[in-house]
Structures are given as structure tokens and as C-alpha cells.
Amino acid sequence: MSTVETYTTPDGRTIGAPVMEMKNITLRFGGVVAIKDISFDIREGEIRAIIGPNGAGKSSMLNVMNGFYHPQEGEVWFRGKIRPPMRPYQIAGQGVARTFQNIALFKGMSTLDNIMCGRLTHMKTGMLSHILWKGKAEREEVEAREKVEKIIDFLEIQAIRKKPVGSLPYGLQKRVELGRALAADPELLLLDEPMAGMNVEEKEDMSRFILDVNDEFGTTIALIEHDMGVVMDIADRVVVMDYGKKIGDGTPAEVLANQDVIDAYLGVDHG
């Protein structure tokens, strides 16, 4: 499947060319090999899941993707070009946004300001126009606010717009964090366990938001998730990692049938 340029999902969406390609990535921390020679791609418009047992290197993979870690070997290709080593904020400027496993919101700011922060990479005025405020800065602020309000509507968090995020319940904080990532209009959205610690209802909501984001904005999404049911339902293709190695790659059905994956999750029968 990964050899063809485009493919069509069972629900009729056409998946395009690769947005990001990981080629033979190896990441080591001292003597510990966190990721070992992994290659896969994420294609335009698809929902790509990365799964694996604890400590498999999934989050490290995400950190490589958004430039927080620099792999010792291998190349990251973004939009058909090799990506030189960059700082995370430069990669954010290229259109890669992410959420975190442990919520990383700005606790001292309101929901609105948090999501406005997501639009930082799109706002160009400098400090001098901010000081003057009237004119360019105010215009840009209002434009950004319009975008942000759309996201607030989309995520149904109008009521908590001006509340400090520190006081919000966990599920809503996760939603605000998704909103902050969405505000960047990302070309690639990385979600690190968007449903960790949620109850069934919140999981359903979050799954729906993820599908809608992909559907309405056409955003390419790579996500890490532990809930296999959710992954099988929403992902187009799945990468399975175990002990830093890739042990499976394909549609959910293919991955489920893969003997290595079954072994990793259920253990090998030694009897």
C-alpha cells in the first residue's frame, strides 16, 4: 500500500502524497536505543496512528517529528524536502502543531489567550506596532480572534472562553489544547494520547472532534493512542512499535492480523 502515490479509504476519502516521511530514524539516549531504524510516512489528509506498549518509543517518535529530539541517524522529510536540524519553534512555523500527553497549557492565561497563542506563527506584527496597538496590531488581533472564535465554536467551548485554563476540568483542558494546536492551521497535527485518562463519553467526543478536524479542515493527523478500539475506528493506517522497533504498518485490519503485533500485545505462547 505504501508504494502507491494515492489511495482511497473505505469511507471514500482520497489520501494524497506524503506530508512527512521518516527515513531510517535511530534515536539513542546514551546507551539506550529509543528508536531503532524506523521508516514510515504520513500522507496528506490521513489519520495515522502510532501504537505500541508502554516504552515502545512512540512519544520519542513524536518528539523527533516536531524537532524536540534530533535523531542520531536517519532523515525527516517534510513536504518532499529533507528537513535540516531545526529548533522546535521553527518547525512550528512550518506548520507542525502538537498536543501533549500531559496537558501543557499555559495555566495563567484564559482559554481564549491559550488558543490565541496557537496563532502566533501566523501573526507578523512586531513589538513596535504592539505598543501603538491602533492600526496594524489591532487589525491583526481581530483577524486572529475571528479564526479563534471559529475554533471555539467548533470545539463547543464558548462558555469557558474567558476562564483561566488552570481551573478547568481535565477533559475540557484537553479540548483547549486541541484548540490551541488547531489555531495554527497546521499542515500536520500531532496528538500525543489525546484520550488518555478520559471516560467513555469524553473519548467519544474527542474521537468525533478528531474525525471532524480531519474531515472539515482536511488536516493530516498523526496520533498516539492506547485505546485499541478508538484506534481501529478512526485511523486510516497504523504503525505499531515495540522496544523502539517497527513491528507492523498498514490498515487497522492488516495490523490486527499481524502475528508480531499479536505477540507484542498478548505475549508469545511459550507452551
Partner 1 sequence: MFYREAGDFKTTYAEDNQTFPLKLDRIGYYAILLVGFLVVPFVIDDYWVSAVLLPFLIYSIATIGLNILTGYCGQVSLGSGGFMAVGAYASYKLMTSFPDLSMIIVVLLSGAITAMVGIVFGLPSLRIKGFYLAVATLAAQFFLVWMFNKVEWFYNYSASGQINAPERTVFGFNITGAEVQPFVAYLFCLSFVVVLAWAARNMTRSNTGRRWMAIRDMDIAAEIIGVNPLGAKLSAFAVSSFYIGVAGALLFSVYLGAAEVGEAFGISKSFLLLFMVIIGGLGSIFGSFAGAAFMVLFPVLLKNIMVGQLGWATDIAAHFEFVIVGALIIIFLIVEPHGLAALWRVTKEKLRLWPFPH
Which residues would be at the binding site for partner 1 (CB under 8 A)? 66, 68, 87-89, 92-93, 97-98, 100, 104-109, 113, 116-118, 120-121, 123, 125, 127, 130-133, 137-138, 141-142, 145-146, 149, 180-181, 184
Closest distance between partner 1 and the C-beta of residue 164, in Å?
A: 11
Q: List, in order, residues 6 or more apart from 161 with CB less than 8 Å away.
A: 110, 111, 112, 152
Q: How far is the CB of 234 from partner 1 (least distance, A)?
A: 24
DSSP 120: G
How far, rounded to the nearest angstrom, does the alpha carbon of residue 139 sit from its chain's CA centroid?
30
Distances (CA, A) of 40 to 1, 5, 76, 226, 250: 12, 14, 10, 19, 10
Name which of 83 and 180 has its Cβ closer to partner 1. Answer: 180
Q: Least distance to partner 1 from the beta carbon of 155, Å?
A: 17
Alpha-carbon distance of 197 to 170, in angstroms, equals 9
Sign of the alpha-carbon dihedral angle for 255, 258, 262, 267: negative
C-beta of 238: minimal distance to partner 1 in Å?
Answer: 25
CB 203, CB 196: distance < 8 Å: no
Provide, rounded to whole angstroms, the least separation between the CB of residue 173 and partner 1.
Answer: 12
Rounded Cα–Cα distance for residues 20 and 204 (Å): 28
CB of 180 or CB of 246, closer to partner 1:
180
Please identify which residue in the block is written with the cell numbers 498516539: 224
Which CB sits closer to partner 1, 56 or 137? Answer: 137
Report CA-CA distances (Å) from 51 to 107, 167, 266: 29, 31, 14
Closer to partner 1 by Cβ: residue 13 or 161: 161
Nearer Cβ to partner 1, position 117 or 211? 117
Residue with Cβ nearer partner 1 (100 or 265):
100
Q: Shortest gap between Cβ of 177 and partner 1 (angstroms)? A: 9
